[in-house]
Structure 1
């Protein structure tokens, strides 16, 4: 059984998808970019603030599914410039207990939606 997860505390989808899908005890989030859900504006002041907004958006989606970052088992990080990796990793890592951090891949891509610098999706389990 599939349950759609949507919250006004994260940006509304910009295409034919939902913020997340819960099936059984497993949550699959869509990729989040640095859109401020209150203003609808992109947060692109610097890579750290951009990453923080992405993580705040993911946190809102997780909370809407009654989960936290402790439930995350897998993350996928897409970045436009691998030179930003250390700064993205610093912010991303601050949301997890390193001993129980999820599996992850980080991939540099040619381009991301709305020309952002980072997009992150997650899989979480209750």
Structure 2
């Protein structure tokens, strides 16, 4: 069974995709960027603030599926530059208590809306 997950507490989709899809007990989130869901504005003050907003958006999507970061089994982090890796990693780590998910972090040539970081997750109930 496939269920579309959507919440107003995270930015709405800006294309033909869903915020997340729950398939059985597995949740697949779309990549989140640092858009404030209430104002629609990008939060690009600095990489730490930007990463916190991305993680808060993911937290909202997880909550809409009755999950939290302890349910996450895999993440994908996309960076505009690996020079931001240490700061993004520091913020990312602060959202997990233990049993960290599997992850890859890759540098890409460009991200949507020219942001510096995008993160997607797979979680399991």
TM-score range, shorter chain: over 0.9
2:10 matched residue in structure 1: 10
Distance 2:17 2:5 in 1: 11
The 5-angstrom pairing of residues 19-98 of structure 1 reads 19-97=19-97
Which SS does the other structure have where 2:105 is aligned?
strand
Which SS does the other structure have where 1:10 is aligned?
coil
> How large is the RMSD of aligned CA atoms in angstroms?
0.4
TM-score by length of 2: 0.99
Distance 1:24 1:121 in 2: 18
Distance 2:113 2:23 in 1: 29
Deviation, 1:96, is: 0.5
Distance 2:3 2:66 in 1: 13
Which SS does the other structure have where 1:38 is aligned?
coil
Deviation, 1:56, is: 0.1
1:123 matched residue in structure 2: 122
Moved over 2 A (4+): none
Superposed CA deviations along residues 50-75 of structure 1, whole A, max 9, x for unmatched, are 00000000000000000000000000
Superposed CA deviations along residues 88-112 of structure 1, whole A, max 9, x for unmatched, are 0000000012x30000000000000
Gaps of 5+ in 2: none
